[in-house]
Amino acid sequence: MSKDNYVEQITNIDDDFAKWYTDIVIKAKLADYTETKGCISIRPYGFEIWENIKNYADKKFKEIGIKNAYFPLLIPENLLQKEKDHIEGFSPEVAWVNEIGDTKLDERLCIRPTSETIICSMYSKWLSSYRDLPFLYNQWCNVLRWEKETRPFLRSREFLWQEGHTIHETEKEAKEFTLKMLEIYSDILENLLAIPVVKGKKTESEKFAGAKETYTIETLMKDGKALQSATSHYFGQNFSKPFNIKFQNRDGKEEYAYQTSFGITTRLIGAIIMSHGDDRGLKLPPKIAPIQVNIIPIKTNDEKVMNVVNEIYKELNGSYRIEIDDRDNYSVGYKFNDSEMRGIPLRIEIGPRDLENNKCIIVRRDTLEKIEVELDNIKNEIDILLKDIQNNMYKMCEERMKEKTSVAKNIEEFESIINNNQGFIKVMWCGDNACEEKIKKLTSAKSRCIPFNEEKLYDKCFCCGKEAKHMVYFGRQY
Amino acid sequence: MSKDNYVEQITNIDDDFAKWYTDIVIKAKLADYTETKGCISIRPYGFEIWENIKNYADKKFKEIGIKNAYFPLLIPENLLQKEKDHIEGFSPEVAWVNEIGDTKLDERLCIRPTSETIICSMYSKWLSSYRDLPFLYNQWCNVLRWEKETRPFLRSREFLWQEGHTIHETEKEAKEFTLKMLEIYSDILENLLAIPVVKGKKTESEKFAGAKETYTIETLMKDGKALQSATSHYFGQNFSKPFNIKFQNRDGKEEYAYQTSFGITTRLIGAIIMSHGDDRGLKLPPKIAPIQVNIIPIKTNDEKVMNVVNEIYKELNGSYRIEIDDRDNYSVGYKFNDSEMRGIPLRIEIGPRDLENNKCIIVRRDTLEKIEVELDNIKNEIDILLKDIQNNMYKMCEERMKEKTSVAKNIEEFESIINNNQGFIKVMWCGDNACEEKIKKLTSAKSRCIPFNEEKLYDKCFCCGKEAKHMVYFGRQY
């Protein structure tokens, strides 16, 4: 019997969330562990989800004038050193190449943890006049960050991502672009992945190493932990000065460029699993599901049945991503479970009895509801159902996020919430990093962001009692 | 004045081919040198060409059932060691990671020069029954090979490629797949890149490290040197045995899988430059040109002209990749040169005088021919011209390849050809590696392939005079 010749039970989501997560990663064949410790292999089914995210994002990027390019994987040590905060932030988890074959290199080369430094070195070479600006470049690539604890997709030593790097003539234009990218990311999360978001600005202590301002898309997973799902950074001239990215401005004077960077990663696949999945396995939003409709014949050896199955396939194929599960070495029951494990939004069941009534059964993955459908109305029904599933999955997440978002007026309330309900905790905050530190030590929760839509919950800082400056989202994080 | 504020003269192709090549790479902004020695940065214009090749290839791959996946960049040393010939072939140019931050690793990790070993380790984990087969997986990724001498695109220490890795139930199926991939590659070269090819099998001494058979797509550059443009390998069980890739066959017995691998790289951009370019710069086949039509208003401050220009843009946009060059800080003459340097297949020139006659001028990049076209016939004309340019560029290459392909009956003829006309040299060969070695020492030319369509040119080996077994293409190579 083949290793994968049955659907194994997965851990219950309520018994052990972490185990439930990795069970789905492995059993839905999204990814697998490899002989390279801390690095995963993304299997075709998982990679197709990434391709669907990538194609959508890449189109959005190109619509606003971003162009793709490619920069070296390896960065000479002296380049990485140029921006102080940046190197401090990354050096502990950087992988170094210092041998080729059996000969030592004069200077170590690091594998990019991110590409600001090497890209800045090129921008300073390519830029000369304000007429050249803006540079709106992006690269889809792999990066390496040697995390101590790793988890598939969420925290992998190597991961795939997109890193956009732009330089602009003015501070205003660069800041606007930083926020424009955040809007594109929230569209990807909400409209493509059906995951509601909280948009906001990171506090000083949670900023990206080298950034002036970091904006973030925060999402809430089913276990009540927050996931930083996308970030967009405004660098000001923090990199353009050490890297000498200058241009002649409209007054004929030399000026340093204003810079941004922004990214999303394969971590989003983890967000999908932890936002939508259940005890039966993965649950994929139709828009990114590699297979949107799975046709399961109740009898593969019944010619009448197979004829109808093939007709339906012909009718739907091209309009939807569709698959017939006609494997004859698996039971129908297995195929149902398998279809649910893989999170396929809709499955069509057709057997001899259905044909007699000229009908078939369509089962929704999101609600598991069974719907009897006239054969000649299938396409129309599928179209309605897929749209409805996409919307319903978003709504279910949104309700859960509401339920799991609380207000804490003081440390005691904060602690009791974090230790019971978890989730997002909204507080008023004085703006002092000391309070963030204190809370982190007490509860291991961190500030997620200062939301764009701040509410005035109350007057004093929940932690120190001083005058409150901002409303902040806190939460434990991945 | 901006660095790029004029079109610099490039070296004449006949004066110094190598310099001409790198001039185009830099001045057409395809790529640039970086602070990481031997590694280039692919600029947006060059990368868009790669994206056009990639999208075409990826579609072809998916049509025959190949799925994309991703495997780790870093490979533990012990894995790389498992296939003897393989490690021998690659170890001298492999980059090793042995430090994270400031801590040494217990085992060195190499940056993939190719991924057979890590992929095999996963296949052995995933495969169990003949029912699971075939695995038809591919990854688009970066690889590293530490070449001593590097040239942009042709021989870069890091390059981008696609590597397909398949395993099959039978030798027959695997061999057929190896050849099927070669056909897809020759389609890419001939129909997409407008470059004629010679298809064939590598001799024993020129095989890929670890392969049983290597098939190749050989092309001929304008300087008469050959470029290996794509390869497809049949591994038999050379990897499946050491990596224990076994399955239960239809008789219930254990059997080792039959394997293939195949790839194309960013080197193809070099092939485009050296197959089509001329003293005015790059020359791009319409099918992969990032910009197919470039509209250049003779007067950007003439409202009537700009209105027509914008109308034409609206009419053509969507059907073609089109750009208006309305930069007001460049002369019209500069824009013509710039358009030619960037190899844009067609440019449309429109000035006030043209408007009076309700006409415009269209200039072909391939022939530099100027065609007067009625304004209301532009779209139709463009359509015809782009198709004709694609075909004509192929024909021009094909003729050149014919001219530069000769027959040598003995070593003397061989030497005189290689030292004058260069190009492909067809010979009859005994099959003995000693003759290949002798020729390599004498002339630095290598066997390119035993073509699928062998001719019987004469009876005896051109080198040793023994009975000839095969017709072989020889040539100096990149």
Report strand pairing: A31-33 vs B103-111: unpaired
Cβ B95 vs Cβ A99: under 8 Å:
yes
**Is the predicted pLDDT of residue B150 greater than 80, yes or no?**
yes
Round the CA-based radius of gyration of chain B to a whole number and report it.
Answer: 25
Cβ–Cβ of A96/B95 closer than 8 Å?
no
Of B79, B122, B129, Cβ closest to residue A41: B122
Which of B187, B137, B168, B185 is CA-nearest to residue B234?
B168
CA distance B116 to B86: 9
CA distance B366 to B389: 7
Per-residue pLDDT, B5: 45
CA distance B428 to B460: 7
Count helices and strands (H / E) in chain B.
13, 23
Domain ranges of chain A: 12-75+111-276, 293-400, 405-475
Preferred mutation among A27, A54, A70, A116 to probe B, highest tally of B CBs within 10 A: A70
Task: Pick the residue from chain A with its C-alpha nearest to B33.
Answer: A122
Cβ-Cβ contacts under 8 Å, B35 against chain A: 76, 79, 118, 121
Q: In a structure prediction context, what are the per-residue pLDDT tens digits for chain A, which is 478 residues long? A: 333 445 667 999 999 999 999 999 999 999 999 999 999 999 999 999 999 999 999 999 999 999 999 999 999 999 998 888 888 888 889 999 999 998 999 999 999 999 999 999 999 999 999 999 999 999 999 999 999 999 999 999 999 999 999 999 999 999 999 999 999 999 999 999 999 999 999 999 999 989 999 999 999 999 999 999 999 999 999 999 999 999 999 999 999 999 999 999 999 999 999 999 999 999 999 999 999 999 999 998 999 999 999 999 999 999 999 999 999 889 999 999 999 999 999 999 999 999 999 999 999 999 999 999 999 999 999 999 999 999 999 999 999 999 999 999 999 999 999 999 899 999 999 999 999 999 999 999 999 999 999 999 999 999 999 999 999 999 999 9
pLDDT, tens digit (0-9, with 9 covering 90-100), for B436-472: 999 999 999 999 999 999 999 999 999 999 999 999 9
Domains B293-400 and B405-475 share a fold: no
CA distance B256 to B211: 16
Of B40, B118, B129, Cβ closest to residue A34: B118
CATH class of A405-475: alpha beta
CA distance B214 to B208: 6
Sorting pLDDT into bands at 50, 70 and 90, what band is B9?
Answer: confident
Q: What angle do CA A197, A203, A207 make, to 5 degrees?
A: 90
- Quote the minimal CA–CA distance from A368 to chain B in Å: 29
Cβ B74 vs Cβ B110: under 8 Å:
yes
Sorting pLDDT into bands at 50, 70 and 90, what band is B4?
Answer: very low
Per-residue pLDDT, A2: 39
Which pairs count as long-range contacts for A204-209, CB under 8 Å and 24+ apart, including other chains?
A204/A433, A205/A433, A205/A436, A205/A437, A205/A447, A206/A436, A206/A446, A206/A447, A206/A449, A207/A233, A208/A89, A208/A233, A208/A261, A209/A85, A209/A86, A209/A88, A209/A89, A209/A90
In sequence order, the 6+-apart residues with CB closer than 8 A to the CB of B314 are: none
Assigned CATH for A12-75+111-276? 3.30.930.10
Cβ A49 vs Cβ A294: under 8 Å:
no
- C-alpha dihedral, A467 to A472 to A474 to A477, nearest 10°: -140
Assess whether the previous peptide bond of A134 is cis (omega < 30° from 0): yes
- Model confidence, pTM: 0.96
Residue B279 — φ and ψ, nearest 5°? -65, -15
Cβ-Cβ contacts under 8 Å, B146 against chain A: 100-101
Quick one: three-class SS letters along B164-222?
EEEEECCHHHHHHHHHHHHHHHHHHHHHHCCCCCEEEECCHHHCCCCCCEEEEEEEECC
CA distance B41 to B209: 28
For chain B, percent helix, then strand, then coil, each to nearest 5?
Answer: 35, 30, 35
CA distance A206 to A446: 9
Q: What angle do CA A173, A176, A181 make, to 5 degrees?
A: 125
Architecture of domain B293-400: 3-Layer(aba) Sandwich (3.40)
CA distance B195 to B193: 5
Tokens coding A474:
């806190």
Where b means 16+ CB within 10 Å and e means fewer, B15-26 reads eebeebbbbbbb
Cβ-Cβ contacts under 8 Å, B137 against chain A: 44
CA distance B427 to B410: 8
- Quote the minimal CA–CA distance from B189 to chain A in Å: 23
pLDDT, tens digit (0-9, with 9 covering 90-100), for A150-201: 999 999 999 999 999 999 999 999 999 999 999 999 999 999 999 999 999 9
Cβ B305 vs Cβ B352: under 8 Å:
yes
- Quote the minimal CA–CA distance from A75 to chain B in Å: 6
